[in-house]
Every structure is written in C-alpha cells, then in structure tokens.
Structure 1
Amino acid sequence: MTKRIVLLCMATGLSVAAMAQVRVGVKGGWNIANVTNTNSGGTDNSRALNSFHVGAIADLPLSEIISIQPGVFYTGKGTKVERGEPGDVAYFKSTTNPQYIEIPVNFVGKIPVGQDTRLFLGVGPYAAFGVAGKNKYETTIAGVHSNGESSIKWDDDTPLNSGDPNQGYDKYKRFDYGGNILAGVEFGNFLLSAQYGMGFGKIYSGTDDSRDDKSKNRVWSFSVGYLFGGTR
C-alpha cells in the first residue's frame, strides 16, 4: 500500500507539468550514504559511505511561493564496515555501493529574501530502481594484504508484484522507495541545497520482516544546480 501511495503522489506531481510554466535544469553533488543497522532505524556514523548524485530537475510553479520539483537522478547509496586501521597487522574493510535511477517529486515552498533570491523548504516522495553497484573488500591478516570486488546482484522486486521473485541471500531488491526533506537557497538561476533521503523499504532481497527497521537506505545529499530560463 505504501508503495502505491508513493507512486500515486509522484504521478500527480508529474501531471502538473502539463499545466505549468516549467524551468528545467541540472543538479548534482555529494552523498553521505548509510544503511540502518538497529531495530529502531538508527545508523552508525562510522559506517557512512561517500558517493555522488547527478541528474536533471524541473521547477513547476503552482504560485509565487510554491513549486513542484520532479527529477531524475543517477545516485549512489550504501554503507561500509571497517575494523582496525590501514597498516595494522589485522585490518578489514568492506563497502557496498548500490547505484540507482531515482525519481523524486518534491513539493517546495519558497520565501523571497532579496532580489532574485529565495530560501526554500521541501518534502516529497521518491522511487528508485537499482541498476549497478559494487561490493568491495580489503583485508590484512598477519601482514598479508588482499582485496577484491564483485558486481551487485538484483532480484526482480517491483511495485507491481508481491514478494521477491528471483530473490537470494546475496542480492538486493531492485525497487526502493521513500521520502525526502530538503532545504536550500535559490539565487538567480542557481540552486544550493541539502537533502535527507529516508528509505521506507528494506534493501536486501527477502528481508520483508516488519518487526524492525534494519537495512533501509539513509542518504544526506549536498547539491548545486542550475535552472535554465528566466528567474521568477
């Protein structure tokens, strides 16, 4: 049900594009990604993983102070586990970096603070589809160093089926969904923003147990963008 609500909100937002004067642009930046590891949905800061996002956005004004901003992004998420320090006799590090095509639809309120300058706050849903990514490891045991990597495998989970067809312990769910909270400043055609993305679905294949909030994506994103066309 939650998946269908997210998709309905996104479809509603995108349909407004046909009725509004649209500015389109590009946006990208730095991700600090993590995956929840406690029953209450918490994360361990030491597990945070640096990644990136890049894509296109549109700004659909509904009024002088309210816009809908859909987008399409290529974005990296994931987490890491590290024991010891590089150069130690015993050291271990593993990272998982799933990469998605993500479609957010954010509802944004803008507050004028000067000529061609606005502060903005926003919230909205997103849907994401896994397309690539790597699992990597690095170990040192008794002075012997080794490392390796493998491509992430995906099952056939989608909003249109039940369960996880083609699931496996070594796979990720193809479909992710959640919500965003963002804030920033728009000056002229430029945007600077910070966003927190909270995944609602568990990312590992077959992990459908609703009794805890482990294994969900959490991502801080810091972005710069540019909207083509006249300023509002």
Structure 2
Amino acid sequence: MKKKLILSFAALVFSLAAMSQVRVGVKGGWNLANISTSNSGATDNSKAISRYHIGVIADMPLIKDILSFQPGVFYSSKGSKVESGDKDNPSVTSPYTKYTTNPQYIEIPLNFVGKVPIADNARLFAGIGPYFAFGVAGKNKYVVNTGVASTEGSSSIKWDDDTPFNNDDPNQGLDKYKRFDWGGNLMVGAEVSNFLISAQYGLGFNKIFSGQEDSSDNKSKNRVFSVSVGFLF
C-alpha cells in the first residue's frame, strides 16, 4: 500500500511537470550517514558510514530563474556503525567488534530553492524543505574477532507498521524500526546549464527505533550529509 502511494505521488509530480513544461531530471550521490546518540540530537563522528542515494527530481519555477519548487523521489541508504577494540590487534580479552545498521528508505523531499544568477546559464542556489520517508529494506551486520576466531553475520531489518496516521501500532517492538521517518533538508549548490552539483544536510525529526513511545527519550534519529550530482532535461 505504501509503495503504491509513493508511486502514485511520483506519477502525479511528473505528470504536472510534463503539463507545465518544467524540467525533470535524475540526481544521485554519496551519503555520509549517522544516527544521533543523545536527546539533543548530537552524533558521534566515528559512527558515520558511507552510503548512497539515487532518484528523480522536478524543477518547477515559481518565479522564473529565481525561485523553484523541487519535489523528488529517492532511494536513500542510511545508518551508522559501532566499533570497539583494536581491529589490527584483537585478542580474547579485548576482541574487535563492529555492528553496522543500514536502513534504506524511499524518500520524498519537497524543497523550495532560491537561485542567484552569476553568469549566462549558471546559478548558485540554496534550498530548504521537509522530507518524508518510508523504510523498505536494510540489514544489520556484525563482526567479532578475538584474534583466535572471527565471526560475522547479518539479519534483515524488521519494520513496524508506523504511519503518520497510526499512533497505536500493534506491530511495534524493541527489535523493529519505525517504518515512517520525516525531517528537514538544507541544501546549497550550483546549476550550470542542465547540470547540478549540491551539498545537503538531512535532519531527521522522528525516532527510528520502534517500541514504547517515551517523550523523555528522543535520541536515535537519522542524520545524513549528502553530496549530489544531477542533470535536468
């Protein structure tokens, strides 16, 4: 059902784009993903992992060459890692361990982008807007090395039935992730002719882990710094 809604939204966006002669394009790049570790939203840089995003966008002019609305649909890979011990010198008394979580989402950003012309067919831009995301896949992986033996394994991430309209989810649990995520984006970049390059920071507002809701425990939210390249047709 969620996938059908996402695909219907994407079809609507690009149908509107076709009718109004605005530009559509492709965009993708690198994610430096992390998960906050405190209620204040702080992160531990050592826990960041490299991931990716890829998708499609539309550029809908609101004020020609100055302000655009840019919705999109992306497949975005996020997560974090936890490591302990010495990877190069593990021992029975001090083993090396690594745990990686990699939730993957269908993400819908809705950015408003201001543009400043700097030359013919060249503009600098800055954008801001919300995003909405639905968890669709992902794995948790672990590695344990005692110096004598090494063990590793993985398991698929379990998702609850969380939605923006469902606060009483019977499928929630401490071993599951919330299906629905939302947050805000800040973006800066340059547009040269049909090419785009941008840097973006995504700030998740929803706890990603399922289980009992507790307003005193608001840590574990997605944090993603991204660098993207794109092309508008």
Q: 1:104 to 1:194 in 2, by over 3 A?
A: same
- Kept in 1: contact 2:104–2:135 (CA 8 A): yes
1:69 matches 2:74: no
1:128 and 1:66 map into 2 onto residues whose CA distance is 25
1:208 and 1:225 map into 2 onto residues whose CA distance is 39
1:99 matches 2:104: yes
1:117 and 1:157 map into 2 onto residues whose CA distance is 43
Partner of 2:83: 82
Partner of 1:122: 127
Partner of 2:209: 204
Query: How far is the alpha carbon of 1:208 from its aligned partner?
Result: 2.5
1:108 matches 2:113: yes
Partner of 1:182: 187
Alignment partner of 1:194 out of 184, 192, 199: 199
Give, as a single letter, the amino acid of the residue that structure 1 aligns with 2:46: S
Structure-to-structure mapping, 1:147-226, within 5 angstroms? 147-206=152-211, 208-226=213-231
Query: How far is the alpha carbon of 1:142 from its aligned partner?
Result: 4.2
1:38 matches 2:43: no
Structure 2: give runs of 5+ residues left out of the alignment. 1-8
What's the TM-score once normalised by structure 1's chain length? 0.89
2:170 and 2:22 map into 1 onto residues whose CA distance is 39
1:207 and 1:218 map into 2 onto residues whose CA distance is 22
What's the TM-score once normalised by structure 2's chain length? 0.88
Aligned residues: 218
- Kept in 2: contact 1:74–1:100 (CA 8 A): yes
CA displacement, residues 138-190 of structure 1 (integer Å, 9 cap, x when unaligned) = 01124211100011010000112113330111110000001100000000000
Structure 1: give runs of 5+ residues left out of the alignment. 1-9
Q: Which has the higher strand share?
A: 1
- Kept in 2: contact 1:21–1:61 (CA 8 A): no
Partner of 2:22: 22
Query: How far is the alpha carbon of 1:20 from its aligned partner?
Result: 4.2
1:50 matches 2:32: no
Query: How far is the alpha carbon of 1:38 from its aligned partner?
Result: 1.1
Query: How far is the alpha carbon of 1:213 from its aligned partner?
Result: 3.2
Query: How far is the alpha carbon of 1:81 from its aligned partner?
Result: 0.1
1:50 and 1:29 map into 2 onto residues whose CA distance is 11
Runs of 4+ in structure 1 off by over 6 angstroms are none
**Secondary structure at the residue paired with 2:164?**
coil
Give, as a single letter, the amino acid of the residue that structure 1 aligns with 2:75: Y
Give, as a single letter, the amino acid of the residue that structure 1 aligns with 2:182: Y
**Percent of aligned pairs with the same amino acid:** 63
Q: 1:43 to 1:142 in 2, by over 3 A?
A: same
Query: How far is the alpha carbon of 1:16 from its aligned partner?
Result: 11
Q: 1:220 to 1:207 in 2, by over 3 A?
A: farther
1:16 and 1:78 map into 2 onto residues whose CA distance is 33
Alignment partner of 1:141 out of 146, 166, 169: 146
Superposition RMSD in Å:
2.0
**Secondary structure at the residue paired with 1:171?**
coil
